[in-house]
Structure 1
Amino acid sequence: MSRLGHWDENIRDLAGKALFKLTPGSKDQILGSVIPRLLERTLGPDLYMRQGSVIGLAEIMHALSSETTLPSSLLSSVEEIIPKRVHWSSLNRLTGFSNKDDFFRRLIITA
């Protein structure tokens, strides 16, 4: 899961795709430990990790939804990511990025 916080966007995407492929074979571990950690990391100070966590959650949700009905508690936790975790005040944390609008747009689209 550490690659979800990599500085290179392509590595974060590949890490998410890896979670998609790993999810069907280890649903219990994904539901029990990976998803809670990813939800927690969407609150962290590291912008790359926040975005990577959203990518990872999206890929896991996609993998789980094709095989089973998702638990309502999981759905509600993930649905809260945008209103709770992606707040306009987080734009202030983007200092140092050359194209803040593009990076923020990517974060929202990924969710």
Structure 2
Amino acid sequence: MTESMLTAYAFAMPPLMLSIAAAELDAATAPPTFTRLREVIDAAQQYEVQLDFGEVEFLDCAGIGGLITLNNLLDSHAGGMVLTRVRPHPCRVLGLTDLLQAFAVQCPSCAS
């Protein structure tokens, strides 16, 4: 991986704001992206996370698995996650998998 797929904005108060810079969260990009997310979250020790999905155009089962694993990590620390600026395709995928109800999702292009 030559460029960072993650931008982090840490403030003294939660939530920790993270932005995924990858256009696709698939089998190739999801594992390193979610590994880096966990590293940043653990280093900041902030388990309330706002995850900006504005650049993510494609989401497959690897990305879904990463989101579920990340959500479970945050839950284990009494935290939570909000997905913001979710684009139409990822929003449809989350809806088809019934994950719109499992995650707090802000999807400007569809009802969530």
Task: Place the TM-score, normalised by the shorter chain, in its bin.
Answer: 0.3 to 0.5
TM-score, with normalisation over the residues of structure 2? 0.39
Larger RCO (CA under 8 A, 6+ residues apart): 1
TM-score by length of 1: 0.40
Structure ranking higher in strand proportion: 2
Which protein is bigger by CA-based radius of gyration?
A: 1
Instruction: Name the structure with the higher helix share.
Output: 1
